[in-house]
Structure 1
Amino acid sequence: MLLGAASRPVELADAPQWWYACLYTGGVDATDDVVAGLLPPVLAEVRALGASRWFFLRYVDRRGPHLRLRVFGPGASLDRLVRSVDDLGAHLELITTAPRARPIELVPGAGAALLAGAGDAVGVRPAVYEPEIDKYGGLDGVELAERLFEFSSELALWGVSEHEKGGARDALAALLLADAAGALLHGARAGRWPARRAVSWSRFWHIHSRWWTGAVLGDETLRVALEAQAAGHRDAVGERLRRTAALPGVQAWRRRWFRAIDDHLAAAGRMEVPRTPQHLVFHQNHMLMNRLGYLPREEALLGIHARDWTALSSTDPRPSTKGQNR
């Protein structure tokens, strides 16, 4: 830059902003393949152009099941996304028309109510991002939440690509649920925000189970059934969790997730975000389960496994650091 030359003013089109689109998958069957096959190349391209944040979630509306993809970046990266909509649509068509097995449900009928009346659209539909400001405690809380959404999305992208639902992914999900609650209570900075230890481990999971089974509304039927289902398979599930927990990739991601939750809560406490730490962990856990492909009733069952895993393993709910530098 020449001495005395004025710096180039930042134009409105260059200012970072959010791009948001719904990627309709034609049904739930293809959603995992869209996560694993479509998101990585899209993200690689926009990151090369300066995109600095992203996240996704799974959703169902009247048009059908879809991914909600949000990318934050400068005009160049978002312009590329706008110009790539047709390519995204063509990629979706290729993925969604491939033959595949029906998706597994951990809890029979878990998707029936959510999918009732939903269509089977395939394609890309731009939308406007409206952050859940109240849920996360204001603008500062939303910004903190979005940072963890990105980490959670990266974790889910790995989990979906590497592990099948109905197999090791189920165990991974239960372990991650346990790790987030463990970070709440036992993270390195838990003592700096006393409210983090205001609710016990068992109470946290009791609330989790009642919420996602609908027992909080007065009907205990599903909660009792899931407790019985978990009890009937406790030994087998415990062994699956132990095998999965021994995988190097799982160990690495669990440690990162534990630290990410601890960091998130430390920042929220420091900034005095007006939400309880239990509330924040509850919703971040839910968003991770959504990204991994689990419906609310399935999350309830996985939460029971997470609760029981700590009892079965006879340890505190912190991922192992054996063999790692501290």
Structure 2
Amino acid sequence: MTRSEAASAWDPERLPDLSGRVYLVTGANAGLGYFSSEQLAGAGAHVIMSGRNPHRLAASRAAIGRRVDGASVETLLLDTSNLGSVRAAAASAGARGRIDGVMLNAGIVHPPRTRTVTADAGRELVLATNVLGHFVLAAELLLSLTLTSGRMVWLGSMATRLGAYDPLDLELRDGYTGWRAYAQSKVAAQVLGFEADRRLRESGIPVQSVVAHPGYSVSGRTAGIHGVNMPSRRARFLDNLQAPITQSKEYGAWSPVRALVDPRIAGGEYWGPSSLTRGAPRRQTASKTSLDPEVGTRVWADCERLTGMHWPFAKAARTLRKGAA
């Protein structure tokens, strides 16, 4: 089957049977994370819905219970801006059993107007939430993913094509704006996704790292769900004015979900909507910055320095050898 045939054969509204699979989704209480969880559960997977607010997590779990017959979901407290929370959640998830994939989705979409730092480590908040927490989470789950030959999906953005990346100031200590913080965090997330793929291949570890973006997905064009998506009338009106170039959050989840579960997708691939801002998922080409190995090496080293985390590639390789013995 050619790539074009594979793309046309995939139906995002009729996913393959995922019974027996277990997926962890960060930021699962709303937006893309919620709809990704709903779609995975609807295909029979067990979904670990993670987020930092227990009440919103409970509401999102209840919503899936109402909308998906026989859904198998559980919740996990996880605040990606707090590395202690990330490590505790990873330990809990790893102890619960198999993990076939993790969707690194949680993030700040509307950053603070002024530069803000985390309480635990003093890191710039948007970078910590969108990037550093996921860097640590993926590292902590690497052994679990190795055992299942699993997959990690990093959430990118169309904003990565706008060149908002300063290699010398990842935390934006100078010239901070909310837009720069968001765009640079998404560049860094994509860079890490591709760099992780290179390092996993070099280590011989059968875990795939894939990058996906949701296009231009907005709440105002998304179905209202109590406790999950309740846009105001003004938001509905404004978002529908952009209907020719936007789509719902439900449709926005199509690309990251396919990146997570389609067995024909290989590590290092980049997926997004067919019309860039909207549409069915298809393979795309990421920005040159995202794919640059030199940038990948630099960002990886920065994340190691900022988090104190070094991925256990050697340990994962030993685990793999023991399993094969």
TM over 0.5: no
Larger Rg: 1
Query: Which one has the bigger helix percentage?
Result: 1
**For this structure pair, what is the TM-score category when the shorter chain's length is used for normalisation?**
under 0.3
Higher relative contact order (CA 8 A, sep 6+): 1
TM-score normalised by structure 1 residue count:
0.26
TM-score normalised by structure 2 residue count:
0.26
